[in-house]
Amino acid sequence: MIYNNSSTINENKHVDLIIVGGGLAGCCLAWNAIFKGLSIVIIDNANKNIASNVAPGLFNPITGRTFQKSWKADTLFPFLYTFYKQVENVTKSRFFFQSNILKPFWNKEEYHLCSKSNMLDDDFINIIHPNTKNTSMNFGGIEIKKSGFLDVKKFLNATREFLSRDNTKNIFFVKEDFYYKNVIIKHNIPSISEINSKNVVCDTILPNIGNNSKGSEYIVYKTTAPIIDKKEDRSSPKWFIAKNIVFCEGVYGCFNPFFTNLAFRPVLGEILNIQICKNLKGIYNRDVFIFCKNNKIATIGSTYKRLEYSYSDGLNSPVFNYGRYELSKHTFNKSPESIMSELKTTLCDVEKLNLIHKTNRLLKACGRESLPQADISKKVGIRPCTLNRRPILEIHPKYPNMGILNGLGAKGISLAPYFSEKILNKLFS
């Protein structure tokens, strides 16, 4: 909850960790920090069109045409199960659902190849033979175990609600834009008068200028919209003084001035929601996926469109326009309308029809009815992908208490729990 009243400088707060961005990465990091007993603040502008709000939330340990285990599946999957269940227990809400994924074979040859293969991992895969009683799949298929979906929106809401509930534990959620220029890096805990001093000009600590900061120990961040400390009923704090800071801004991390050499390759994605006649049990996935999170509303997806981007000419890239539209509607000259019309050219109806066509093919192979002619709603987001398809987990070369957790790409649900724990270990070891 945000209150825009001014607060005095006495109300600054000491925390172990500032987290910039409260999407999937930031929230998983927050929980791992809380489980370790650390005090934290998440600063997030509650942007609605972030990847985490769009993601249907599938987690799937099997990948590719030959149905092989995905990268680090043996480590990531046990970890994510324990993690999300633990968060469900603490928040007393339900957002983690296990459900097998069904992948039909397209033809007899595929069935024969797979049933003879000794490459398939029994821990994760069952082969479903055609003509068995319980399947309507024409040529059989595979059933992926240890998969399912996270209701990401519920997970984020439960996390934000938990963080905003009780500020006495020194855990905070501050809803505002994070300004990089409001970061100060100090060797010692700054005194109140020092922070308050008019001599401290925040801009002087932008990364390319802060030459003296090697070995710095404190990150000081000035918030612009102080929150109310509900217990004490007074506004707090104006400054956060932290031992560490981790950036988790998703695709907006492309423009983080502290980490300018990261190999992002943002990928735009769309999902469709459509009202269907009969509830669909389980998750069907081949080329596209379809499953029902809510009663009779099927989610279908996703498209996958790489966006050209480079840090230096980012000003003209669609990613930047998207970011600038979402983050800074009021500060930039370009009108939101013109930015949206640019974006629409990337989100045309051909792709929608293509998704529907592929879904009907999948449903047919599974012996299911085609999609009805019904209203379809579309959601769009940008995946923070990287060139090497691996997450970004970096400590700043000059500032050892500054890190970044990003690049979760198309697999945030399975990567975020484990890698947020890893970056904490790097920072606090």
Ligand X SMILES: Cc1cc2nc3c(=O)[nH]c(=O)nc-3n(C[C@H](O)[C@H](O)[C@H](O)COP(=O)(O)OP(=O)(O)OC[C@H]3O[C@@H](n4cnc5c(N)ncnc54)[C@H](O)[C@@H]3O)c2cc1C
Point out which residues bind ligand X (CB under 6 A). Answer: 21-26, 43-45, 47, 50-52, 54-59, 177-178, 248-252, 269-271, 301-302, 381-384, 406, 408-414
CA angle 292–294–299, rounded 5-degree value: 40
When computed from its CA atoms, the radius of gyration of the chain, rounded to whole angstroms, is 23
| Minimum CB distance to ligand X, residue 259 (Å) | 13
CA angle 426–227–254, rounded 5-degree value: 45
Nearer to ligand X, 127 or 410 (CB): 410
Distances (CA, A) of 323 to 43, 202, 266, 382: 17, 23, 12, 10
| Minimum CB distance to ligand X, residue 91 (Å) | 18
Nearer to ligand X, 140 or 250 (CB): 250
Nearer to ligand X, 120 or 156 (CB): 156
Residue among 151, 154, 157, 158 at smallest CA distance from 56: 151
Nearer to ligand X, 8 or 68 (CB): 68
| Minimum CB distance to ligand X, residue 111 (Å) | 27
**Can you tell me the distance from the alpha carbon of 237 to that of 9, in angstroms, rounded to the nearest whole number?**
8
Nearer to ligand X, 191 or 331 (CB): 331
Cα 101 off chain centre by? 22
Nearer to ligand X, 63 or 212 (CB): 63
**Can you tell me the distance from the alpha carbon of 241 to that of 237, in angstroms, rounded to the nearest whole number?**
10
Nearer to ligand X, 56 or 140 (CB): 56
**Can you tell me the distance from the alpha carbon of 327 to that of 412, in angstroms, rounded to the nearest whole number?**
22
**Can you tell me the distance from the alpha carbon of 236 to that of 253, in angstroms, rounded to the nearest whole number?**
27
| Minimum CB distance to ligand X, residue 134 (Å) | 26
Residue among 352, 363, 357 at smallest CA distance from 278: 363
| Minimum CB distance to ligand X, residue 176 (Å) | 7
**Can you tell me the distance from the alpha carbon of 52 to that of 219, in angstroms, rounded to the nearest whole number?**
27
Residue among 257, 304, 290, 299 at smallest CA distance from 404: 257
| Minimum CB distance to ligand X, residue 112 (Å) | 30
| Minimum CB distance to ligand X, residue 321 (Å) | 15
| Minimum CB distance to ligand X, residue 24 (Å) | 4
Two tokens, residue 175? 């809803």
Judging by DSSP bridges, how do beta strands 267-275 and 305-306 pair with one another?
antiparallel
Nearer to ligand X, 135 or 223 (CB): 223
